[in-house]
Structure 1
Amino acid sequence: MGSVTADNNGPEGVDRRDLIKRSAALGLISVPTMSFLSACASGGGGDSSAKDNEGTASKSNPFGVKKGSKLDVVIFKGGYGDDYAKQWEASFQKKWGVTSTHTGTQEITGKLQPRFNAGNPPDIVDDSGAQQIKVDVLNKNGQLLDLAEVLDAPSVDDPSKKVRDTVIPGTLDPGTFEGKVVALNYIYTVWGLWYSGKLFAEKGWEEPKTWADFLAICKDAKSQGIGGLAHQGKYPYYINVAIMDLIAKTGGLDAMKAIDNLDPKAFVGSEAAQAGVEAIYEVVEKGYLMPGTNGLTHTESQTRWNQYKAVFITSGSWLENEQLKTTPEDFDMKFLPMPVLPDSKLPFEAIRAGAGEPFIIPSKAKNLAGAKEFMRMMLSKEWSTSFAKAANSLTILQDGVDPSVKLRPGTQSTVEASKAAGDNTFRYMYVDWYSEMGAALEAASNELMAKRIQPKEWLKRAQAAVDKQAKDPASKKNRRD
């Protein structure tokens, strides 16, 4: 979610060529929120003023970038910061003579919804974080450019290849709606649990591979005055990482696809869903949550975790970079795939992985030529490596980062986990396809973690959210086989 409201990032190392070929990596995801863009739709192609920013197209300038034009860039300033984008903009100006207006913010909806409504959006947007304007809503309102022209353009590094042929397979899927790619999810992310290698060494704990072993560590921690599990209570997207991972690993890909495909038995009637939510609720019932975690923001919970007030926390691989300022030097951050319940169909090594941090080009952008070229250059090795150095995370570009760039401990562990997972990766699509449904699932989880509802009620509310979404005719256009 990008991460969530505030910050997100992670690091690197290892032979990146082998790493990316194996689809090992990390990144960020956009986080569903309770608010949605309720605005007037304004479809169609670019604004007529975009014509004023068009130069002459050529082989080396496929979109006709006009020297002296201006580019309006808005970046979610979360865990990845926005320094990487400033470096990109400086590079873009040097090459094309195009100056940029740069806005780094966490308030994407607050700053941009009025502009979209007025038909005066920026040229390119990193649309992420808790205040993200939902991509599915923007798309439904006809406010996003079909990125086919960018993806079918020649690669900056190898003009004999199309841009779309240079990205890790499957990474365009989250931004694809009704067969059109309208968002470029730029960062390759893994999600799961995290812990301190230093704390584990001090306590003599071993990495838990089963849920029973996980609970045993939580119990031991509680006896020593340490929380077992912290979560970012004000943003229940994070605890849903644990719940939904358990469902997918227990029931296999069929259980995951049932949710994405809005199956009438996605939750109620699903043994995997019941097992997953009951497992999380056991943590709540036994008092293994870090005290106060339900009322904290993501950075507040994560900072207390950095202070050894909890053993585990759920997050995506932006966590390490997001917490650079508060993580002790010897913390030794580690990534952990979700431990498995008995008779799980997917192995412990299986992880949720895929592309996050959606970049969009509004259909009414004033400098469409500049925006399209900017996105094309994002998928160059130069800009991909620049991002890795500044934000400590990998991009969706294959062989996209100089192998000499070194990874931090947490990011290194995600690399190793990704290699161990191999083909055992999975990725939910409902988060991208159905923001309203995602928000309803989060609201139910918020009630569950506060012990205001029981697992049976959670399943009932989750199924109601699925059934409601299934009634939307547009939902029939999205399906996983």
Structure 2
Amino acid sequence: MGSTSAENNGSDHTGAPGVGRRSLIKRSAALGLVSVPAMSFLSACASGGGDDSGDDDSQGKTSEENPFGVKEGSKLDVVIFKGGYGDDYAKAWEAEFQKQWGVTSSHTGTQEITGKLQPRFNAGNPPDIVDNSGAQKIKIDVLYKNGQLLDLAEVLDAPSVDDPSKKVRDTVIPGTLDPGLQEGKVVALNYIYTVWGLWYSGKLFADKGWEEPQTWDDFLAICKDAKSEGIGGLAHQGKYPYYINVAIMDLIAKKGGLDAMKAIDNLDPKAFVGSDAALAAVEAIYEVAEKGYLMPGTNGLTHTESQTRWNQYKAAFITSGSWLENEQLKQTPDDFDMKFLPMPLLEGSSMPFEAIRAGSGEPFIIPSKARNLPAAKEFMRMMLSKKWSTLFAKEANSLTILQDGVDPSVQLRPGTQSTVEASKAAGDNTFRYLYTEWYSEMDTAIQNASNELMAQRIQPKEWLKRAQTAVDEAAKDPSAKNNRRE
């Protein structure tokens, strides 16, 4: 999964509405690529934070060209989530970093972020820089509360590699830093520009004579037709219910508008119970399961298992973020013609069909106790250079948060191109939830409820009750007063 606050294997799980949104969409659409989170599990890390001094052996002399004092001959410990985007892009970065600075890298590519890193954080010996994504990502809010994350202000206020007259923070797409905020501080750099929604095969649709559905009724009609031909209507990554929440949460936002979305992020006492939009969305998703339109077995499958069966034309639709195409490169037939689809509209929706969830995902962090802080900071600064952004695009078929950050000669795959077109069509009509980053326990509780819903072990009203309980519990968190959306 991505995205996102998700098992995003490319991921979770994105910019906040109302924060330079017009500029965000215009600039991102012009870049030519789009792509990640995600769900997270982790018990609280035990150790506290440290200072920002790093290891004395890693501190070199500072200068205009070397603002953090990278020391030649020092070593950098890099850990990358090897999911939907792989880790070849990071290896390319590390080679460039060594060439320029004479700093060698210890590289770890893994999906077991928590298993490999929690003991290191607890022992006060974390890596220098981490791509903290996937099903086993470390909870950002937990690390922050334990003082284990570096405030990235120094990196963001440093001169841009490409244009030293600008600060790094002024070179990114507006709004894309917001998901990395904890109590007003950017402690995670969500590096990849991602869109979320439904996906389908252009070839299958052409063969069956199906047209892209814009309403939920049209979507159900295709699911019904698919079932009659022995094809599942909707596949989802059942073992990671983050994915079906893409559909549920998109429907809530599009039905109820930005106010319905913000009510959830702001922990409103009627965010779910008492919300007409939430009730309509959950009932719509439940109907897919109740009528037997789910791909058989999808509730018990991992992300790659469900996605591979979808690639085998065993389902018409699947939910995911835009890391999907890169994640499925080896499993996707050459003529599959992967396509992105905004969530179809429920009756009486406040947003248009073209509206999409979009923003930044794939959070990179620098631990406060990193041994080589100067190199870690410079590494992150170079991530936001056009050269490194283009390296990422070539290796991962995805857009970064850097404005005009991808060489226009980079050719896009069909799915990625369709997300570019969707972003252009959306215009200002984009949205992005932040509760997944702010309240990880709430996120997990809602995902667990969705798992029960799709298995028909609970019905929509019970899902709403459980989701509201998760909101009410999160509202007791002292940090909640500092996490507000206007």
Q: TM-score, normalized by length of structure 1?
A: 0.96
2:201 to 193, 196, 219: 196
Q: 1:281 touches 1:449 (CA, 8 Å); kept in 2? A: yes
Aligned equivalent of 1:377, options 370, 377, 382: 382
CA-CA distance at 1:42 after TM superposition = 1.1
Aligned alpha-carbon RMSD (Å)? 1.5
Q: Does the 8 Å contact 2:224/2:293 carry over to 1?
A: yes
Hey, what's the Cα distance between the residues in 2 that align with 1:476 and 1:54? 38
Q: Any idea what the Cα deviations from partners look like across 1:273-301, whole Å, max 9, x if unmatched? A: 00000000010111000000000000000
- State whether residues 76 and 104 of structure 1, in contact with CA within 8 Å, keep that contact through their aligned partners in structure 2: yes
Does residue 118 of the first structure (1) align with residue 123 of the second (2)?
yes
Report how far residue 322 of structure 1 moved: 0.3
Answer yes or no: is the 8 Å Cα contact 2:159–2:166 preserved in 1.
yes
- Aligned counterpart for 1:38 among listed residues 40, 44, 51: 44
Structure 1 equivalent of residue 16 of structure 2: none
Distance 1:269 1:24, change over 3 A: farther
Partner of 2:20: none
3-state SS of 1:68 partner? coil
CA contact (8 A) 2:279 2:464 kept: yes
| SS of alignment partner, residue 28 of structure 1 | coil
1:337 to 333, 342, 364: 342
- The equivalent of 2:400 in structure 1 is 395
Match of 1:229 in 2: 234
Amino acid of the structure 1 residue aligned with 2:39: P
Task: State the Cα distance separating 1:49 from its structure 2 match.
Answer: 5.2
What SS does structure 1 have at the residue aligned with 2:55? helix
- AA in 1 matched with 2:391: S
CA distance in 2, matches of 1:251, 1:23: 30
Residues 474 and 178 from structure 1, CA distance in 2 versus in 1: closer, same or farther, beyond 3 angstroms?
Answer: same
Q: Is contact 2:30-2:404 (8 Å) kept?
A: no
- Is 1:158 equivalent to 2:166 in the alignment? no
Question: Cα gap change, 1:346/1:336 in structure 2, threshold over 3 Å: closer, same or farther?
Answer: same
Unmatched runs of 5 consecutive residues or more in structure 1: 10-16
Aligned-partner SS, 2:412: coil
1:8 is the counterpart of 2:14? no
Q: For residue 21 of structure 1, report the CA deviation from its aligned partner.
A: 5.5
> What is the TM-score when the length of structure 2 is the normalising length?
0.95
- Provide structure 2 residue ranges, at least 5 long, that are not aligned to the other structure: 12-24
Return the match for 2:224 from 215, 219, 222: 219
8 Å contact kept, 1:128–1:358: yes
2:35 is aligned, of 18, 27, 33, to: 27
Q: Is the 8 A contact 1:27 1:357 kept in 2?
A: no
Cα distance in 1 between the residues matched to 2:458 and 2:339: 32
Q: Alpha-carbon deviations, 1:70-108, whole Å to 9, x = none?
A: 000000000100000000000000000000000000000
* CA distance in structure 2 between the partners assigned to 1:97 and 1:371 by the alignment: 14
1:46-72 CA deviation, whole Å, 9 max, x = no partner? 3x6522211000000000000000000
1:174 paired with 2:179, answer yes
Q: Is the 8 A contact 1:194 1:336 kept in 2?
A: yes
How far apart are residue 118 of structure 1 and its match?
0.3
Q: Which amino acid letter does the alignment assign opposite residue 246 of structure 1?
A: L
Q: State the SS of the aligned residue for 1:115.
A: helix
Picking from 349, 352, 357, the partner of 1:352 is: 357
2:135 is equivalent to residue 130 of structure 1: yes
Distance change >3 Å, CA 107–CA 57, structure 1 → 2: same
Structure 1 residues 263 and 22 mapped into 2: Cα distance closer, same or farther (>3 Å)? Answer: farther
Q: Give 1:5 shift.
A: 5.0
CA distance in 1, matches of 2:10, 2:61: 39
1:297 to 2:305 alignment: no
In structure 1, C-alpha distance between the alignment counterparts of 2:314 and 2:194, rounded to whole Å:
26
Aligned to 1:185: 190
Residue identity matched to 2:187:
V
Q: How far apart are the structure 2 equivalents of 1:428 and 1:8?
A: 17
Q: Secondary structure at the match of 1:74?
A: strand
Closer/same/farther in 2, CA of residues 361 and 309 from structure 1, 3 Å limit: same
Q: 1:148 aligns with which of 153, 165, 178?
A: 153
**Sequence identity percentage:** 80
Residue identity matched to 2:107:
H
- Matched length: 472
> How far apart are residue 8 of structure 1 and its match?
3.3
What SS does the aligned partner of 1:125 have?
Answer: strand
Q: 1:82 to 1:433 in 2, by over 3 A?
A: same
* Partner deviation per Cα, 1:15-50 (whole Å, 9 max, x = no partner): xx9762658753311x223x323221312313x652
Quote the Cα distance in structure 2 between the aligned partners of 1:253 and 1:8.
Answer: 26
For the residues of structure 2 that align with 1:32 and 1:391, how far apart are their CA atoms?
21
